[in-house]
Amino acid sequence: MPGGGLSPDATRWISCRPGFFLPVRVLSRLFRRRFLEQLEAAFTAGTLHVAGSRHALRDPHAWARYLAPLRHVEWVVYATRPFAGPQHVLDYVGRYTHRVAMGNDRIRDIDREEVHFTDKDYRADPTHAIKTMTLAATECMRRFLLHVLPLGFRRIRDDGFLGPRHRAEKLTRCRQLLDATARRAVLVDTVNPGGDPVRLDGRAPLSTRRCPACGQGQLIVIDRLPPTRRLPIGADTS
Task: Convert the pLDDT of each residue in 112-122 to its tens digit.
Answer: 889 999 988 76
Give me the amino acid identity at 126: P
Could you tell me the pTM of the whole model? 0.41
Top pLDDT among 15 and 197 is at 15
Top pLDDT among 84 and 8 is at 8
Q: pLDDT at residue 192 above 70?
A: no
Which among 110, 108, 135, 106 has a CA at the least distance from the CA of 119?
106
Once rounded to an integer, what is the mean pLDDT over residues 210-227? 69
Give me the amino acid identity at 4: G
- Please give the DSSP secondary-structure letter assigned to residue 218: B
CA angle 39, 43, 48 (to 5 degrees): 85
Helix axes 60-67, 24-45, angle to 10 degrees: 180
| Dist CA 183 CA 201 (whole Å) | 9
Top pLDDT among 93 and 64 is at 64
What is the per-residue pLDDT across 9-48, written as a single tens digit (0 to 9) for each?
Answer: 888 888 888 777 777 888 899 999 999 999 999 988 888 8
pLDDT tier at 205, thresholds 50, 70, 90: very low
| Dist CA 51 CA 42 (whole Å) | 15
| Dist CA 134 CA 113 (whole Å) | 10
Top pLDDT among 169 and 94 is at 169
Question: Maximum distance among all alpha carbons in the chain?
Answer: 88
Q: pLDDT at residue 87 above 60?
A: yes
Number of neighbours of residue 63 by Cβ within 10 angstroms: 19
Q: Which residues pair with 218 in a beta bridge?
A: 210
How far does CA 139 lie from the centroid of its chain?
33
Which phi and psi (to 5°) does residue 222 adopt? Answer: -90, -45
Q: pLDDT at residue 151 above 80?
A: yes
Top pLDDT among 111 and 210 is at 111
Average pLDDT of the chain is: 77
The strand pair at 107-110 and 114-120 is best described as: antiparallel
- Please give the DSSP secondary-structure letter assigned to residue 226: P
Q: pLDDT at residue 227 above 80?
A: no
pLDDT of 2: 78
| Dist CA 86 CA 5 (whole Å) | 20
Instruction: Note whether 206 and 198 are within 8 A (CB).
Output: yes
CB proximity list for 77: less than 8 A, separation 6 or greater: 24, 27, 28, 31
Mean pLDDT is lowest, of 65-69, 201-205, 211-215, 234-238, for 201-205
